[in-house]
Amino acid sequence: MSLTDRQLERYSRQIILKEIGPRGQKALLSARVLIIGAGGLGSPAAMYLAAAGVGTLGLTDGDAVDLTNLQRQILHATPDLGRPKTESALETLAALNPDVKVITNSVKASAENILELISGYDFIIDGTDNFSAKFLINDACVIGKKPFTHAGILRFSGQLMTYVPGAGPCYRCLFVAPPPPDTVPTCRQAGVIGALAGVIGCLEAMEAIKYLTGTGSLLTGSLLTYDALKTEFRKIAVPIRHNCAVCGKEPTIKTPTDYESAQCDVKF
Amino acid sequence: MTKKTDPRTAEPDAELDICDVVCPMTFVKAKVALDDLEVGQILAIRLNDGEPTENVPRSLKEDGHRVLKLTDNRDGTYRLLVKKAPDYF
């Protein structure tokens, strides 16, 4: 693959970086990244990955654009209300960078479809908003041997961690099982500040870019937490759990499972 | 490491003209051309006097490549000989 003059110009600011260079740019252009959830986290992640020239972006989301989404989900705009998120996202990304092939799936990721959804991708980004989906993605990526970045946001805090097969702990090493339904609030109940989705979603994009270009070090073996109110980042070491139910020596979870999600009737 | 190259006798393995572009495309094109070469091979670059002759050699050095020679073509352009370094990251 050789880069066209238009591509050299479009990506010049990153091709100049010696950690990226022409080789890194070619790696990005031939890479395939799947983003599960075209919402608060998925929006900035998708936009920066598209802008960087990731050749194929997969987007999976079964929802339609709702007015309450627009405070943080920057892939979508006011005229998109009521449209499938994947459709609106595809238009935004195609306008941003025609180099990028966008593959959309207007379905909710589930135990039934997750392994097929992630197959054929080099890197997965968790842009979901509930524990059920996060465990589903983790288990599927461990079973399907796919690297992925987990992220979560709530109110003014966020967290991030990257899993690479054979290179460190998985999300389940850190959190053994989903919390019982109704014990933990979702964004819907607890609220979230939009710029936080931007910060954490961009960090997810950064992890993908580093993985794909083989540069720098990833958040494998550590959890990054961000407290926006205090402007505090913390990087906490996460050990491998050798008896982890999915990535441990004798795994008991061999297929992805759907968990019941927290319901939205919790009062605060 | 690669063997020493005598700048006086060095023969380029490839030629590149970046007189038609400005910063940062000058450096981008030089990087791409070097990327296509093998370690130790030499690229000859024709570049404009002024900003390119000041910045391109410096940026290539920062990437680890070896600038062998910069000669004045006496037509407002220069000829830069640069030797590709081993993997620089």
B63 touches chain A (CB under 8 A): yes
* Inter-CA distances, A236 with A98, A209, A228, A229, Å: 39, 22, 17, 19
What DSSP assignment string belongs to A82-112?
Answer: TSBHHHHHHHHHHHH-TT-EEEEE-S---TT
Is B14-83 a domain of CATH 3.30.110.40? yes
Contact: B28, A18; criterion CB under 8 Å? no
Q: Report chain A's terminal Cα–Cα distance, integer Å.
A: 56
Measured in angstroms, the CA of A217 and the nearest CA of chain B are apart by: 13
CATH number of A31-237: 3.40.50.720
pLDDT of residue A265: 45
Among candidates B24, B35, B64 on the partner chain, residue whose Cβ is nearest the Cβ of A16: B24
Average pLDDT over residues A158-167: 97
CA distance A52 to A148: 18
Mean pLDDT for all residues in chain B = 91
pLDDT of residue A206: 98
A55-107 tens-digit pLDDT: 999 999 999 999 999 999 999 999 999 999 999 999 999 999 999 999 999 99
pLDDT at A178: 87
- B29-35 long-range Cβ contacts below 8 angstroms, 24+ apart: B29/A8, B30/B56, B30/B59, B30/B60, B30/B82, B31/A15, B31/A16, B31/A21, B31/A22, B31/B63, B32/A3, B32/A8, B32/A15, B32/A22, B34/B60, B34/B65, B34/B82, B34/B84, B35/A21, B35/A22, B35/A23
Q: Which two tokens stand for residue B86?
A: 């081993």
pLDDT, tens digit, 9 for 90 and up, residues A210-261: 999 999 999 999 999 999 999 999 999 999 999 999 999 999 999 999 887 5
Residues of chain A with C-beta less than 8 angstroms from the C-beta of B35: 21-23
User: How high is the pLDDT of residue A267?
Assistant: 40
> Rounded to the nearest 10 degrees, what angle do helices A42-52 and A85-96 cross at?
30
Q: Is A22 in Cβ contact with B24 (below 8 Å)?
A: no
Identify which of A8, A22, A215 has the shortest CB distance to residue B25.
A8
Measured between beta carbons, which residues in chain B are less than 8 angstroms from residue A13?
Answer: 24
Q: Which residues contact A138 (CB under 8 A, 6 or more apart)?
A: A126, A148, A150, A163, A170, A171, A172, A246
Nearest residue of B to residue A14 by CA position?
Answer: B28
Tokens of B57: 């050699």
Q: Are strands B14-17 and B77-83 parallel, antiparallel or unpaired?
A: unpaired
| A11-28 CB burial, b ≥16 within 10 A, e <16 | bbebbbeeebbbbbbbbb
Q: What is the mean pLDDT of residues B30-35?
A: 95
Residue identified by tokens 């992640």 is A45
ipTM above 0.85, yes or no: no
A145 touches chain B (CB under 8 A): no
CB contact under 8 A, A22 and B88: no
Q: Which of B51, B47, B43 is nearest to B68 (CA)?
A: B43
Q: How far away is chain B from the Cα of A220, in angstroms, using its nearest Cα?
A: 21
Q: Which residues pair with A123 in a beta bridge?
A: A33
Inter-chain residue contact A12 with B24, CB threshold 8 Å: yes
What is the C-alpha separation between B53 and B48, in angstroms, rounded?
Answer: 7
Question: Chain-centre distance of CA A125, in angstroms?
Answer: 2
> Is B88 close to A16, i.e. CB distance below 8 A?
no
Looking at residue A184, its pLDDT comes to 76
- Rounded distance between C-alpha atoms, residue B7 and residue B83, angstroms: 10
Report pLDDT digits (tens) over A14-44: 999 999 999 999 999 999 999 999 999 999 9
Verify whether the Cβ–Cβ distance B25 to A9 is below 8 Å.
yes
SS3 call for A44: helix
Of A9, A19, A23, the CB nearest to B35: A23
**Structural element, H or E, at residue A238:** none
Give A42 to chain B, closest Cα distance, Å. 30
